[in-house]
Amino acid sequence: MAIAASIASRLQSRFLPSVLQVINESYMHNVPKDSETHFKVVIVSAEFEGMTLIKRHRAVNTVLKEEMQQIHALSIVARTPKQWESSPEFADSPQCMGGSKR
């Protein structure tokens, strides 16, 4: 199974999200074409009610423990349904600065 599909499947099963986007941002980095190394996850779930942002991120990282061994970077936008309703936007990821080529 492709990494993006595995991420989506695990998050769907664990959090039953009302919104789930798994965005492969690898193309923004200096990696071979069709790589699956850099991802952004946008997830909205009632499971996040009462959790701090860091606890939400930890919960997502725990569920994706196996996938985290295979990827380089994961950006997480984790919101409650109420938060998403009031602000359904999220920031674009910055362009890659080329690692040590800054």
CA–CA gap between residue 83 and residue 44 (Å, rounded): 9
CA–CA gap between residue 88 and residue 86 (Å, rounded): 7
In the chain the first and final C-alpha atoms are separated, in Å, by 35
Residue 31 has pLDDT above 80, yes or no: no
Q: Mean pLDDT for the chain?
A: 88
At 86, list the tokens.
């009031």
pLDDT computed for residue 27 by the predictor? 67
For 26, other C-beta atoms within 10 Å of its C-beta total 22
Q: Report the range of poorest mean pLDDT among 3-7, 9-13, 32-36.
A: 32-36
Q: Which residue has the tokens 């695990």?
A: 10
User: Exposed/middle/buried for 12, CB within 10 Å: 0-12, 13-18, 19+?
Assistant: middle
